[in-house]
Amino acid sequence: MPLEKIDPRQRAWVEVFPEAIKANTQAIKRLLSDNCLLMAVVKADGYGHGSETVAEAALDGGANNLGVATLQEGLDLRKAGIKCPILILGNLVNVEDLKACLRCDLMLTLSSSNEAFLCQELAQAMGKKINVHIKVDTGMTRLGCNLSIASELITLVENFPNVSLHGIYSHLALADAQKNSKAELFTYQQKEKFEALLANLRIKNKLFCRHLANSAGTLRDKELHFDMVRVGLALYGYSPFEYVNHDCALKPALAVRARITLIRDVPAGIGVSYGHCFVTERPSRLAVVGIGYADGISRALSGRISVLIDGIAVPQVGSITMDQLVIDITDNPNISVGAVVTLLGVDGGMAITPYEWSKVSGSIPWEILCGFKYRLPRVVI
């Protein structure tokens, strides 16, 4: 039986704007000095926008490299025909994964001598050279080797015949801290530790790429850029801080929309949705919207957000459920079934941003963007 094709905009969907990603990439590039590279971080399926779409748009806008978190993400990009250097920012510890990495020319992150020995043995057995970046922990305390053994690990790798050292990097933990705060100082302490390590290296080949900054580091200060910046959030149109001025106009690259599937008039005093957390105070016109927490609209947002219909803000009421949520359209009685509701993004002259959702749900813009599930088709505009 032939598969039915349905309109992706029938119920709920995510619109993705590659032109915005391209423009954001170009805007970020303008902040960098001529010899500083830009790595577009497209992990988590391009922060929910679709990694292939984002990768192509970012490369079109002048990105030099791509960063992913997992082997599968790297392989997917290679399968899509993307040829630029790709660094896996997570670490791989399994021999089969390393083999796939070598076959598909993906660059690896090394955080320990065990990982380094494994790479050397495997690349030697396959008669190949594996390209790696060594990650050093200067204060994030996640991946990366301890600073005290970094020099030793770098020297070890430099002497391995089948491992090619392409980069040395670290990751900032507090780069989105407020200006002149104690936390801001920590970023500069991380930078100093990174610089001291690099200055004291006793290796022959110093042509590796040094990188430290994420979006926050990139937008905050050129001094943090080194040879390459690794930019995620800003690429998607959002700055990690609302309070630090930066000379970079960013455009949101995504909108989440859904349709009204039912409209009902109910009297005052009626409990709405699970738990009856909202009770109508007046005779009300309620609309059911076909999107819920199984699509990535967190339950924590229940009763705390508005949506946009033709540029008008309408309150969401009651608990958000798995597949549906309810909005109160009493003040806008002309709205009809099938109307498009914007949950996140721009509609008319109005916009709803992940910052607003973050504030009411205790989340962060990163989590919100990559939280939209695959029941929502991505529609590239």
Ligand X SMILES: Cc1ncc(COP(=O)(O)O)c(C=O)c1O
| Active site (catalytic) residues | 43, 274
Q: 14 vs 231, which CB is nearer to ligand X?
A: 231
Which one of residues 14, 16, 37, 41 is an interface residue with ligand X (CB under 6 A)? 41
Do strands 350-352 and 340-347 pair parallel, antiparallel, or not at all (unpaired)?
antiparallel
Tell the burial category of 5 from Cβ atoms under 10 Å away from its Cβ (0-12, 13-18, 19+).
exposed
Question: Is 171 a residue that touches ligand X (CB under 6 A)?
Answer: yes
> 165 vs 42, 96, 159, 162, 279, CA distance in Å?
22, 21, 10, 10, 63
In the block, tokens 């219909």 appear at 309
Q: Per CB under 6 A, does 48 bind ligand X? A: no
Please report where in the chains the tokens 């989340």 appear, as a residue.
363
Q: How far is the CB of 357 from ligand X (least distance, A)?
A: 17
CB nearer to ligand X: give 137 or 328: 137
Helix or strand (DSSP H, E) at 45: helix 43-47
> Is there binding between residue 330 and ligand X (CB under 6 A)?
no
Q: And the tokens for 137?
A: 């922990």
**Site track for ligand X across 213-232, x = CB under 6 A:** -xxx-------------xxx
Of all residues in this chain, which one has the CB nearest to ligand X in the complex? 232
Tokens representing 18?
């590659």
Using CB under 6 A, which residues numbered 359 to 378 contact ligand X?
366
Helix/strand/coil for 210: strand
User: Applying CB under 6 A, which of residues 240, 292, 318, 354 lies at the interface with ligand X?
Assistant: 240
Residues 365, 373: Cα–Cα separation, whole Å: 15
- The reply on whether position 23 binds ligand X by CB under 6 A is no
CB of 42 to ligand X, least distance (A): 10
- Residue 89 contacts ligand X per CB under 6 A: yes
3-class DSSP state of 316: strand
The smaller minimum CB distance to ligand X, of residues 232 and 252, is found at 232
We find the least distance from the C-beta atom of residue 172 to ligand X, in angstroms, to be: 9
Is 25 an interacting residue with respect to ligand X (CB under 6 A)?
Answer: no
Do 126 and 86 contact (CB within 8 A), yes or no?
Answer: no
Can you tell me which residue has the tokens 């910046």?
A: 229
Kindly list the residues in this chain that would bind ligand X in the complex (CB under 6 A). 41, 89, 171, 214-216, 230-233, 240, 366
